Amino acid sequence: MVAAVSCRRRNDRDTLIDTQSTPLPRQAAVLQDDSGRVINNLRISVTDRCNFRCRYCMPEEGMVWMEKSELLSFEEIVRVASLFAQLGISKIRLTGGEPLMRKDLRLLVAKLVHLQGIRDLALTTNGFFLLDQALDLYNAGLRRINVSLDSLDQVKFNHMTRRDYYERVWRGLDAAETLGFGPIKINVVLIRGINEGEIGKFATLARARPFIVRFIEFMPIGADDGWTTEKVVTTREILQTIERETGMRLLEVERHGNQPADRYRFEDGRGEIGFISSVSEPFCESCNRIRITSDGKLRTCLFSLEETDLKRMVRGGARDEEILQTIQQAVWKKEPGHLINRPEFVRPGRTMSQIGG
Ligand code: SAM
Ligand code: SF4
């Protein structure tokens, strides 16, 4: 049974800066919301397109892609990212859709890696193009990658992704490991009735190879994803299964820290497992993330019902100060928490692949 999400109340508004009449100090290098959360982590989606059709993310047919002219150009992304960096964003993750479908992504990587204030640049990918692009990405300065891999069984992988690319993804992973990428994280979404029988195999993988395996709870955010609470395999269940099947205890390393995953290590120190418990144990109170969609909309929560159109400002000739102020105002109103499992939950109008996962 999935626990109800408790939403935290916003702080009293008497500390709210009236940004309409008082320009925000330019040097305020902290992006903060009115619940006191400091935001330092930005996910940038570079495309909504994808060559996979993962069941929990998008339907087999009928996805309508954005026009290329709608996407932020690399120059626009770099400008916006540098403004976020001025406000204290220090971590950027490139995502999509499938980010490696964006032509010459390495050129964007090379720019972002050197952006003042950015300490950490990472990429989330389905792994298909790693075989071709890993070397270029490495040379551009990228070191951290997350690869989504929901099954260690080729038939099940094909079923989950609706594509016959299992071997190719593995060749990409091997190439990335050989080149020296690290840490390499494997993202796994379990759906009850499909792949929950593979928990033990993934735990073994985390011990056998230098990969951190992270289980992401299935969320109601895909297009036509068939989500129900019953299909969610919870963190507690996964953790118990791992301990039972391996005969080893998992020890907590970090909980509600700087990343969405709660981190555990096996008691003998070999192998790390992460859990992203968005549904059963939401971590909204410590959320430090915001997102920009590939068409330049700022989203302060994955489940936001509102967006702030930065692309319109950028293309409309807005000055840096105006964009900075708009970002600060939007982030100040970041949602206290999502409402999955509550009757009032409303799915956002866009899917994970359109928002940037
Ligand atoms: N295409 C890339 C990939 O799959 O890694 C990046 C984009 S994808 C939207 C980012 C992450 O979101 C992936 O790890 C994917 O498994 C996860 N994801 C997508 N839909 C999800 C859902 N309904 N519930 C949980 N995770 C989901
Ligand atoms: Fe594509 Fe990633 Fe969505 Fe799978 S999860 S369909 S790889 S965007």
Ligand nearest to the CA of 219: 1
> 353 CA to middle of ligand 2, Å?
6
pTM of the model: 0.91
* pLDDT value of residue 256: 83
CA proximity to 212, closest of 188, 184, 242, 176: 184
C-alpha to C-alpha distances, 144 to 89, 93, 103, 138, 167, nearest whole angstrom: 17, 9, 20, 9, 22
Q: pLDDT value at position 157?
A: 98
Distance 136 CA to ligand 1 centre (A): 24
Q: In whole angstroms, how far apart are CA 15 and each of 19, 31, 181, 213? A: 12, 15, 44, 41
Cα–Cα distance between 290 and 327 in angstroms, integer? 10
What is the distance between the alpha carbons of residues 184 and 147, in angstroms, rounded to a whole number? 7
Alpha-carbon distance 59 to 44, whole Å?
23
Determine the pLDDT at residue 6.
Answer: 32
Q: Is 60 in contact with 311 (CB distance < 8 Å)?
A: no
Which amino acid is it at 311? Answer: K
Q: At 356, list the tokens.
A: 């940037």
Residue indicated by tokens 């990472």: 122
Note the residue count of the chain: 357
252: which 2 tokens?
């907590």
Pairing label, strands 120-125, 144-148: parallel
CA pair distance 217, 147, nearest whole angstrom:
16
C-alpha dist (Å) from residue 260 to 125, 130, 275, 286: 17, 24, 8, 9
Q: What is the DSSP string of 121-151?
A: EEEEE-STTHHHHHHHHHHHT--EEEEE---
Query: Given this model, what pLDDT does residue 352 score?
Result: 82
What is the atom index within ligand 1 of the atom nearest the CA of 98? 1
Domains of the chain: 25-355 (3.20.20.70)
Phi/psi at 91 (5° precision): -125, 130
pLDDT < 70 positions in the chain = 1-29
Ligand nearest to the CA of 48: 2
CA separation for the pair 125, 173 (Å, rounded): 11
Helix, strand, coil proportions of the chain in percent (round to 5)?
Answer: 35, 20, 50
Rg (CA), the chain: 20
Ligand 1, residue 56: give the atom nearest the CA.
Answer: 23
**Tally of CB atoms within 10 A around 12:** 8
Site residues for ligand 1, CB cut-off 6 Å: 50, 56-57, 95-96, 98, 124-126, 148, 187, 189, 216, 218-219, 221-222, 225, 352-353, 357
pLDDT of residue 354: 84
Tens digit of pLDDT for each residue in 195-238? 999 999 999 999 999 999 999 999 998 777 889 999 999 999 99
For 177-190, write each residue's pLDDT tens digit.
999 999 999 999 99
Residue whose Cα lies nearest atom 26 of ligand 1: it is 218
Cis geometry, peptide bond prior to residue 348 (ω within 30 degrees of 0): no
Q: Minimal CA–CA distance to 333: which of 25, 17, 78?
A: 17
Q: Quick one: pLDDT at residue 265? A: 98
Main-chain phi, psi angles of 290, to 5 degrees: -140, 170
pLDDT score, position 221: 86
What is the number of the ligand 2 atom nearest to the C-alpha of 222?
3
| CB neighbourhood size of 181 (10 A) | 21
Residue bearing tokens 């792949």: 195
> Is 68 in a helix, a strand, or coil?
helix
